[in-house]
Structure 1
Amino acid sequence: MKSFALNRRRFLTSVGIAASTVPFAGCDALDGFLSGGSPVRDVLATANSLTYRVQRMLIDADKLAPEFSSSEIRQGQRPNGSTDPNDEAYLAHRTDNFASYRLQVQGLVEKPLSYSLAELQNMPSRTQITRHDCVEGWSCIAKWSGLQLSQLLDEAKVKPEARFVVFHCFDSMNAGLAGNVGYYESIDLVDARHPQTILAYGCNDQPLQIANGAPLRVRIERQLGYKMAKYIRSIELVSTLSPFGKGKGGFWEDYGYDWYGGI
């Protein structure tokens, strides 16, 4: 019997909440449907929560995303989202080639940490060739180098009440009347400790480029591209996502995307 590959899209179809009932056509196409209090938004949020729990029950926490050979890298990593942050602190780091950059690990940890980029690069590293799947419909295979996020979590000694990792970023996004909003993302501790979840500082055997998130971006290979925050300023361990943004767990999630972007 063929292996049963359960993914978020197939599961939504199987429970009858398929995209055919609503025209999912872009980042802002569903503003009316996805606004707070909308019954469509409530149904989709319930479906997302259900598929998240089912995937956690049926898929091994350490199951790896597919990895590829070097010959399958046919182009550079396609930049997406913000590609050139204008945050003053970021510009200063960029001017000195990130020599003054320090990653903060804070929140619900026994030992708050601060690392320079050089210190991170001197830690045991992992290299993986994986496919980046964008919610816009394109994909790209690239080779990523960095350190496993679990290493930092172990060193910081995560407190028992922590449930999520929040990535605070240097870049911001235009949110219409709200102006520019700082980008952030989050994952649970299962994905944070996954072997392929790395803080990447290299891409295709070169230092990570500005357009792709230098000096540091997270790779969460079992989720869609919008979950992989770039330009990471700090990492915070928390018990709830409610204090951040609109409380949905990420910039795009605050505007209607699912928090769990599993593929």
Structure 2
Amino acid sequence: MITRRHLLLGAAAASLSGCKIFDNATGDSALHNLFASAEDLTIASQRALGRDALARTYPESDIRQGQRPNGSTDPSSADFLDLAAQNFTDYRLEIKGMVQSPQSLSLADLRALPSQSQITRHDCVEGWSCIAKWTGTPLAAVLTAAKPLKTARYCVFDCYDAIEKSLSGEVFYYESIDLIDAFHPQTLLAYAMNDAALPTANGAPLRLRVERHLGYKHAKYLKSITLTDSLASYGAGKGSYWADRGYEWYAGI
């Protein structure tokens, strides 16, 4: 049966396949405005289903292959290499910005918090999908401990993977979601996949799982989470590495 999720994914794959169609679709271009309107419709449709409407989950028998990596698979930044060399024993996830109680959490700290596992399907904008089991700490638990200010609206995820180099130096991946999706019951800070430690290619030591969104929203190699009331001061001000380059910011499915 063709579902709304299939239709949205198919439209996204057709429009974004090859990661090139948006290269010139910025500003007031007709193509950019068309997809911006579609994004507004996607947000409205998802929110109409309810803030806590769940992505489909699957039985373990549907895990038939390893999780195919997306995006960066082998970060080369000095900070990441130093952490990896120590098996991430010195890793800390910083929770900062518009919070009353900033946090600095080791992997042991995160594992000591409430955990959950979910078997979900990862839908890549390139058109492929893969089912895997993810285990981690609900982002809601981490944010609750940090006590967001009432004026906070977004979580910005800074990452250790330098996705490109510019004349001014390395350009690091970043992503963001709003607090509605941050507190969604399936939004995880995942440290394990298929009952094993998260592999480097899949985002070790910690990655985001935000299950009602396309794969590029699931930021890997997490360094910090900043709560803010505006995305204007991050990257090019669109809210994520790919949104700065013309892709949808919300990318819901």
Give the corresponding residue for 2:22.
30
Give the corresponding residue for 1:122.
112
Gaps of 5+ in 1: none
Equivalents in 2 of 1:139, 1:46: separation in Å? 25
**Alignment equivalent of 1:39, drawn from 30, 40, 61:** 30
Give the corresponding residue for 1:184.
174
1:99-140 deviation line (CA, Å, top 9, x unaligned): 000000000000101011111112111011111000101000
Equivalents in 1 of 2:39, 2:219: separation in Å? 20
Give the corresponding residue for 1:199.
189
Q: Secondary structure at the match of 2:242?
A: helix
Question: Alignment identity in percent?
Answer: 52
Could you tell me the TM-score, scaled by structure 2's length? 0.92
- 1:29 is matched by which residue type in structure 2? I
1:2-34 deviation line (CA, Å, top 9, x unaligned): 9x9655955x99xxxx78xx96442023312x1
Give the corresponding residue for 1:246.
236
Higher Cα radius of gyration: 1
Q: In 2 relative to 1, CA 179–139 (structure 1 residues): closer, same or farther, beyond 3 Å? A: farther
**Alignment equivalent of 1:100, drawn from 78, 90, 93:** 90
- 2:36 is matched by which residue type in structure 1? A
Give the corresponding residue for 1:91.
81
Moved more, 108-117 or 35-44: 35-44
Tell me how large the CA RMSD over aligned residues is: 2.4
- 1:252 is matched by which residue type in structure 2? W
Q: In 2 relative to 1, CA 25–136 (structure 1 residues): closer, same or farther, beyond 3 Å? A: closer
Native 8 Å contact 1:7 1:55 kept in 2: no
Q: Secondary structure at the match of 2:105?
A: strand
Equivalents in 1 of 2:209, 2:16: separation in Å? 26
Equivalents in 2 of 1:24, 1:219: separation in Å? 21
Give the corresponding residue for 2:135.
145
- Map 1:57-96 to 2 at 5 A: 58-96=48-86
- Give aligned pairs, total: 252
Q: Secondary structure at the match of 1:259?
A: coil
- 2:51 is matched by which residue type in structure 1? A
How far the C-alpha of 1:180 sits from its partner, in A, is 4.0
Of structures 1 and 2, the one scoring higher in RCO (CA 8 A, sep 6+) is 2
Equivalents in 1 of 2:26, 2:169: separation in Å? 18
